[in-house]
């Protein structure tokens, strides 16, 4: 047995963890920070709380609020230049995956020359970066604990994956109380994103014992709490379990990588403007059905069924796999995940989406089943209308 497993971030988890930001920064003797966030987090009032915690610790905050969903490369130089001009000691990211990914990329450019495109790939960032503290406000991407940042390349119409050394946060402060105000739609999209991370990690060609253990526990937590968090956002137990599930899914996929769902989702975000979570969730059960043609995947899906507390006693791997896929589709429907057509995708875009998917090399290589353009087109078609699924076939 051989594997590699690592997490770049030290984690503090639990109610009130965000209040530790001043203590953490004082511990590294930081007196001035760049605070990176988006307008959604600002409007929710979360940024003001973090800024107050910083002020209480006599730490000066320089604000950068220009992050948008699926963060483009065009904003990164501005953020990095601001950090350099203000001579900040550290960077604080507040928000979901977009602010955290943007902060990671900005941090790279503070100590490494631009443009950011030259670092696409693994372990291409040479110079050490500034200390980065991530405070997630969604239970979704797990970006606070991964050595990966995903940025939209506006010149190449694709998502760049930059991973490896100097690409992660040094400290992650996970406070479930910050997720209570998440709207139901965001709860659904980010929660299904985290569930996708866990499922794709578990069936990845690069899975290992540590990733499998974390992925299955993440699946258990997310599958059994997402509906409640969606319907009753003030349920702090459900919110805590969702944030923990997202964290563990991040632990898993940071080393196992992801698969075809993400290979399709990235082009859906770039070409169709879909939020990352919706892009994943709208195709997840259909990619699962495609992968379930492999007997080895059916065994894995039976494990997932057990983690989801689905009764599969006495069922074959194939039968249990069917029940797992059906349960994922039902969960998606319960939290109102749209079909691709409902999300605004056009059939005329399928060709370019399929071609772009095959260029998502890491996702294609990690997927447990070989993928062709025709396969992607078939998946897009059924995800477009949201039809029922039969084992091993897209119908």
List all residues 6 or more positions away from 180 whose beta carbon is below 8 Å from its beta carbon.
Answer: 233, 234, 236, 239
Q: What is the pLDDT of residue 292?
A: 97
Q: For residues 317 and 297, what is the distance between their CA atoms, to the nearest angstrom?
A: 9
pLDDT 10s digits, 186-244: 999 999 999 999 999 999 999 999 999 999 999 999 999 999 999 999 999 999 999 99
b/e map of 88-123 (b: 16 or more CB within 10 Å)?
A: bbbbbbbbbbbbbbbbbbbbbbbbbeeebeebbeee
DSSP 332-379: HHHTTPPPTTTTT--GGGHHHHHHHHTT-HHHHHHSSS---HHHHHHH
Q: Is the pLDDT of residue 253 over 80?
A: yes
pLDDT tens-digit readout, 273-308: 999 999 999 999 999 999 999 999 999 999 999 999
**pLDDT tens digits, one per residue of 141-184:** 899 999 999 998 988 778 889 999 999 999 999 999 999 989 99
pLDDT (tens digit per residue) in 139-153: 988 999 999 999 989
Q: Tell me the domains of the chain and their CATH numbers.
A: 10-179 (3.40.50.1970), 184-394 (1.20.1090.10)
Cβ proximity of 279 and 269 under 8 Å = yes
pLDDT confidence bin for 389, thresholds 50/70/90: low
| CA–CA gap between residue 295 and residue 300 (Å, rounded) | 9
pTM over 0.85: yes
For the chain, first and last CA: distance in Å? 39
Q: Supply the pLDDT for residue 388.
A: 62
- Estimate to the nearest angstrom the gap between the alpha carbon of 296 and the chain centroid: 25
């Amino acid at each position: 047995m051989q594997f590699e497993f690592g997490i770049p971030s030290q984690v503090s988890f639990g109610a009130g963890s965000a209040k530790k930001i001043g203590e953490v920064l004082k511990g590294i003797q930081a007196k001035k920070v760049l605070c990176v966030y988006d307008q959604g987090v600002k409007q929710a009032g979360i940024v003001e709380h973090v800024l107050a915690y910083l002020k209480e610790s006599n730490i000066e905050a320089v604000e950068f609020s220009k992050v948008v969903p699926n963060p483009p490369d065009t904003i990164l130089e501005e953020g990095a230049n601001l950090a350099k001009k203000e001579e900040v000691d550290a960077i604080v990211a507040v928000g979901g995956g977009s602010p955290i990914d943007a902060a990671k990329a900005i941090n790279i450019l503070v100590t490494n020359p631009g443009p950011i495109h030259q670092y696409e790939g693994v372990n291409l960032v040479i110079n050490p970066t500034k200390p980065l503290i991530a405070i997630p406000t969604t239970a979704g991407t797990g970006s606070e604990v991964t050595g990966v940042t995903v940025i939209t390349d506006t010149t190449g119409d694709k998502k760049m994956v930059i991973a490896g050394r100097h690409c992660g946060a040094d400290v992650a402060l996970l406070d479930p109380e910050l997720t209570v105000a998440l709207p139901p739609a965001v709860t659904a999209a980010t929660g299904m994103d985290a569930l996708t991370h866990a499922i794709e990690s578990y069936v990845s060609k690069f899975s290992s014992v540590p990733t499998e253990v974390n992925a299955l526990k993440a699946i258990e937590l997310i599958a059994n709490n997402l509906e409640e968090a969606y319907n009753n956002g003030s349920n702090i137990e459900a919110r805590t379990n969702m944030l923990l599930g997202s964290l563990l899914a991040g632990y898993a996929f940071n080393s196992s990588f992801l698969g075809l769902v993400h290979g399709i989702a990235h082009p859906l975000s770039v070409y169709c403007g879909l939020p990352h979570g919706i892009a994943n969730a709208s195709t997840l059960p259909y990619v699962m059905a495609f992968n379930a043609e492999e007997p080895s995947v059916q065994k894995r899906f039976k494990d997932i069924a057990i983690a989801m507390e689905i009764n599969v006693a006495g069922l074959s791997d194939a039968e249990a796999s069917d029940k797992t896929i059906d349960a994922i589709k039902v969960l998606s429907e319960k939290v109102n995940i749209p079909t691709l057509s409902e999300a605004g995708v056009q059939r005329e875009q399928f060709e370019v989406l399929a071609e772009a998917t095959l260029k998502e090399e890491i996702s294609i290589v990690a997927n447990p089943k070989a993928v062709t353009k025709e396969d992607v087109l078939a998946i897009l078609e059924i995800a477009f209308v949201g039809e029922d699924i039969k084992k091993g076939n897209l119908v």
